[in-house]
Amino acid sequence: MIKLKNFYNEVKQETKKVTWPTKQETITTTVMVFIFVFISSLFFLLVDKIISFLVKYILFI
């Protein structure tokens, strides 16, 4: 039981040392992630269509 209490106190001390992001930083990084995911999805869609076209072209010449 003492070990558990010590562990809890250590966790509490460590969480006080954490630098939490501000609301604006969180919003900015979230928007950046959504933009990156959108751009990546478009890229992979394009690559998939190109590869699909090439495979169909090669197989059905």
Per-domain boundaries in the chain? 25-61
In angstroms, the Cα distances linking 13 to 7, 8, 9, 17 are 10, 9, 6, 7
According to the model, what pLDDT value does residue 61 have? 72
pLDDT digits over 1-46, tens only?
Answer: 889 999 999 999 999 999 999 999 999 999 999 999 999 999 999 9
Q: What gap in Å lies between CA 58 and CA 32, rounded to an integer?
A: 39
Q: 29: which residues sit within 8 A by CB, 6+ positions away? A: 21
The radius of gyration computed from the CA coordinates of the chain, to the nearest angstrom, equals 25
What pLDDT, on the 0 to 100 scale, is given for residue 6? Answer: 95
CA distance 37 to 50: 20
In this prediction, residue 1 carries a pLDDT of 85
Digit-coded pLDDT (tens) for 44-55: 999 999 999 999
